[in-house]
């Protein structure tokens, strides 16, 4: 059988493409291939309501486990509540919803425990030697190790999903609690109330290295919970991750010379937050629309190039901000940059920043005004001159 579209990798990007394509074109011959036993891995994805294009909000809605009307941020000299609706998708629900949708489609299948060894323009070769043909091949196998080595910082984290001994009383997420020791880089704790007795607590660093000290992070999270008056009765699961925050990079590759590179490896991510849901949603929307209009052969074309160009214009500016954060500020001072962000910017600009949809005025707001405390002129000059000392 020859497929209309073959999605290699069962992560967020290809899962969203599968859902949107089948919503618009239920008869599509669609194959989703995943190397592991289950789709989605061990992840939690969050997004702001405005991140998702209106045309596919109904498609995305069944993925949502929990939704909140807003969240809080905390810094040593600032506490702010933002009324920006915020949603969470667990990998378990993600896998379940996609499996159900594919099973209900007449010509769609999921192959798990299936590894692709070689991807070509209109076919793939599996680990067992079989060839699978498809009019459109989408490579969504995740980030490439060291793709930005030497030109990026890292967002690294450990998350613990915990069950509390008594109701925790937290009703609104804490997106950033930076009232914690600022060792190694900008550090904050992220607290999501999943129900009255379950929390997801993540210890996150924006740091110069990708190494994770898991024992240190576990101990720090449990100490944080204790300090907040949270009685942890059980650790249900852990998740960890390391995401690049590049200050250099290249635009998503859009070419007829190979498979469509999607997701992190294709450059379709937010370089300043690690949030991939907004960008993954836009790409999924476009793939589905082009499939409906022109068939699989029409996906890679002018509209996709225009989307990639818009994404690159936004990403280039945010990469510049990354360079300033990591190269102009000592690790212990980086929290001041984020404190200024939440202190000085209106909610609309913050929303558009997370959506990677900044206006010209937003960019001016981010760049103008008094610099954050802790800026190092020497570090800035060194970054601008490629490491050469001046004077």
| pLDDT tens-digit series, residues 3-47 | 999 999 999 999 999 999 999 999 999 999 999 999 999 999 999
The two tokens of residue 275 are 């949030």
What is the value of pTM for the model shown? Answer: 0.94
Domains annotated on the chain, with CATH: 3-66+88-146+247-312 (3.50.50.60), 152-246 (3.30.70.1990), 326-384 (no CATH)
86's enclosing H/E stretch is: strand 86-90
Closest C-alpha to 199, from 223, 169, 242: 169
In this predicted structure, what is the pLDDT of residue 374? 74
375 secondary structure, DSSP code: B
The two tokens of residue 98 are 């996609």
Pick out the chain residues at pLDDT < 50: 388-391
Q: Which residues contact 226 (CB under 8 A, 6 or more apart)?
A: 232
Query: DSSP of 8-45, one letter per residue?
Result: E--SHHHHHHHHHHHHH-TT--EEEE-SSSSTT-S-EE
**pLDDT tens by residue, 339-366:** 999 999 999 999 999 999 999 999 999 9
In this predicted structure, what is the pLDDT of residue 386? 66
């Amino acid at each position: 059988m020859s497929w209309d579209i073959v999605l290699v990798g069962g992560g967020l990007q290809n899962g969203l493409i599968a859902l949107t394509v089948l919503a618009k074109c239920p008869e599509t011959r669609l194959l989703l291939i995943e190397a592991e036993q289950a789709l989605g891995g061990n992840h939690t994805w969050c997004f702001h309501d405005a991140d998702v294009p209106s045309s596919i909000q109904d498609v995305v809605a069944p993925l949502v486990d929990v939704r909140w009307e807003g969240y809080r941020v905390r810094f040593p000299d600032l506490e702010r509540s933002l009324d920006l609706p915020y949603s969470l998708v667990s990998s378990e629900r993600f896998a379940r919803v996609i499996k159900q949708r594919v099973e209900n489609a007449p010509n769609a299948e999921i192959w798990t425990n299936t590894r692709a060894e070689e991807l070509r323009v209109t076919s793939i070769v599996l680990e067992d030697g079989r060839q699978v043909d498809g009019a459109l091949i989408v490579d969504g196998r995740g980030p490439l190790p060291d793709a930005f080595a030497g030109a990026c910082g890292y967002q690294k984290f450990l998350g613990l999903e915990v069950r509390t001994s008594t109701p925790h009383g937290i009703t609104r997420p804490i997106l950033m609690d930076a009232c914690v020791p600022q060792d190694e880089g900008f550090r904050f704790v992220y607290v999501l109330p999943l129900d009255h007795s379950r929390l997801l607590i993540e210890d996150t660093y924006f740091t110069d290295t990708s190494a994770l000290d898991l024992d240190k992070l576990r101990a720090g999270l449990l100490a944080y919970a204790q300090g907040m008056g949270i009685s942890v009765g059980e650790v249900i699961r852990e998740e960890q991750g390391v995401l690049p925050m590049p200050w250099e990079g290249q635009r998503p590759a859009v070419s007829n010379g190979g498979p469509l590179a999607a997701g992190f490896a294709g450059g379709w991510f937010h370089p300043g937050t690690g949030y991939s849901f907004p960008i993954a949603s836009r790409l999924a929307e476009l793939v589905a629309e082009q499939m409906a209009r022109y068939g699989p052969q029409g996906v890679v074309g002018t509209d996709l190039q225009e989307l990639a160009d818009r994404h690159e214009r936004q990403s280039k500016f945010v990469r510049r901000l990354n360079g300033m954060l990591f190269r102009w500020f000592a690790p212990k001072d980086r929290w001041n940059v984020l404190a200024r962000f939440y202190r000085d910017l209106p909610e609309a600009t913050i929303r558009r920043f997370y959506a990677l949809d900044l206006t010209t005025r937003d960019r001016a707001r981010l760049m103008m005004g008094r610099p954050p405390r802790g800026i190092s002129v020497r570090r800035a000059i060194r970054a601008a001159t490629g490491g050469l000392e001046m004077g």
